[in-house]
Structure 1
Amino acid sequence: MFPRPIIDPAIATIAPGFHAVSLFADARGTTPVAIDPSVLADACRFVAEGGPVWAEAHLASWAETYTRFGAKPNRTPCSAQALRKRVLKDGTLPAINPVVDLYNAASLRFAVPVGGENIEAYAGAPRLTIADGSEPFDTIANGEPAIEYATLGEVIWRDDVGVTCRRWNWRQGSRTRLDTFTGRMWFVLESLDTMPLAALDEAATFLELGLRTLIPGCFIAREPLAA
């Protein structure tokens, strides 16, 4: 029913302690219900109070990993660091839609990058790999649709068409962006070895239970991934 995500063996040379959890959700034929807005607010409050004990070490590991493939983490940080910085600065995050708010809450609460994708828009399986520089990336520039290209050596998520997320988990593309939660969705939570594996599993459970609450009756397939 769902394509199995593929991790390029070369990723282990950049992040030997990389682990992830993949969650596919099929919400076809279901009726979503309202999500408690306190889920995101509580996660923001938890970050403002310090967050999990592994947060600083884990996000520092992501910054170090980014430098290994030529990225500048102060300029293009991993998604979890970007969310955390916004909350520490502003005290909160604006609501986007229930499913995005839910996975943002998981990212904040567990200091872990979490991505959500419209798997219906994919061509082939999601693949974490190293770019050769020819891969197109659909994005928005100055308010208009635009095509960029990954840089040589950059870690990317991609499918058979092109890049779906640049600089590992820094920026998602517009082609596979998750803007509905009535079809088939894919979520990935990504950790390095400075985050306890038990905490990664707990974060995936938080997201899975949230999805089951938001979309009663949805089918979810969960799978661990590693470099």
Structure 2
Amino acid sequence: MSQFTVQAAFWKIFPDVRIAVLSVHHLDNHQRGQVPPELLDEANQHVSELIPNEPISANPLIHEWREAFRKFKTKKGARFAVENLLKRAKKGNPVRSIDPLVDIYNAISLQTGFPIGALDMNKIQGNMSLEVAKGGEPFTAIGEDESDPALPGEVIYRDDQRVTSRCWAWRDAKEVETTEDSTDILMYSECLKPEWQEKHAQAMNDLASDIERYLGATVKVQYVDHEHPTVTY
């Protein structure tokens, strides 16, 4: 068993955040036609209802996340994990199918605006932590070969050896990337505002249900917050 812990330095910046932690086991992530294509199609079409205003920054969801990203050190141009997906879909460039698991959580994110991260649990080294970087922690992004270490003051996810996600959950590390052969997954999703928590909990229930229904997995949903900063998965 491993632990997922949110460190005190994070809570000093974001005391009201609540994070869902999902442990997924016995996943079949091979393309077998088990995920209905309309799941992602309908989610793409829903985006104009979620963020109807122009410019995109005029939408409360986007505004709140951009304000949050101003509270810590980030790479230039870093945004919260769903903004680019929403922007693409709103402009008529729908998010395309990648693999069953990604399609399911992208559909939930497009419908609700909540970011969802996914790491191959069997590639994680030791325990997981959400913390504020000291600077220099190693990170190599998916699709890259060169290391791009964390900045001092940057919010990061990390395991015992390296950063697993930069700028909160903006980009993931190649070493923990999920593939069609991944069978055990650690997922997490941040709820930025207390008034969003009910909607967030419903989204996580829907996510867990879809993964179990379509991919034959078992899913456990837990939450961490300022008063309960650690869960075991």
Q: 1:59 aligns with which of 53, 62, 78?
A: 62
User: Partners in 1 of 2:28 and 2:87 — Cα distance?
Assistant: 38
* Equivalent residues of 1:99, 1:181 under 8 A apart: no
More strand by share: 1
Structure 1 residues 197 and 126, CA gap change in structure 2 (3 angstroms): same
- Structure 2 unaligned spans of 5+: 53-57, 227-233
Aligned length in residues: 221
Query: Aligned letter for 2:25?
Result: D
Identity %: 27
1:225 Cα deviation after fit = 1.2
What is the distance in 1 between the residues matched to 2:91 and 2:29? 38
Cα distance in structure 1, aligned partners of 2:221 and 2:31: 20
Report 1:23-38 matches (<5 A).
Answer: 23-27=22-26, 34-38=34-38
1:68 aligns with 2:71: yes
Q: CA RMSD in A?
A: 2.4
The one-letter amino acid of 1:48's match is S
Over residues 194-223 of structure 1, what are the superposed CA-to-partner deviations in whole Å (9 max), with x where a residue is unaligned?
A: 65211110110111011011222x222210
Q: Offset at 1:57?
A: 2.1
Q: Is the 8 A contact 1:28 1:184 kept in 2?
A: yes
**1:91-110 aligned within 5 A:** 91-110=93-112
Q: Which amino acid aligns with 2:164?
A: T
* Match in the other structure for 2:154: 154
Partner of 1:5: 4
What is the aligned partner in structure 2 of residue 180 from structure 1?
180
Measured in 2, the distance between the counterparts of 1:13 and 1:58 equals 22
Give the letter aligned to residue 221 of structure 2: R
Given that residues 57 and 194 in structure 1 are in contact (C-alpha distance below 8 angstroms), is that contact kept between their aligned partners in structure 2?
no
Distance 1:94 1:28 in 2: 21
What CA distance in whole angstroms lies between the structure 1 residues aligned with 2:102 and 2:154?
A: 26
Give CA deviations for 1:61-117 in whole Å, capped at 9, x if unaligned.
Answer: 2211111112368x1111121211111123411111110111111111111111111
Matched, 1:46 2:43: no
TM, length-normalised to structure 2: 0.86
Aligned pairs for 1:123-134 (under 5 A) are 123-134=125-136
TM-score, with length taken from structure 1: 0.88
The alpha carbon displacement at 1:139 in A equals 2.1
Answer yes or no: is the 8 Å Cα contact 2:30–2:100 preserved in 1: no
- Alignment of 1:212 onto 2:212: yes
Pairwise CA distance, 1:28: 6.0
Counterpart amino acid of residue 123 in structure 2: A
Match of 2:122 in 1: 120
Contact map agreement 2:112 2:203 (CA 8 A) in 1: yes
Give the one of 76, 82, 86 matched to 2:88: 86
Question: Shift of the alpha carbon at 1:189?
Answer: 1.1
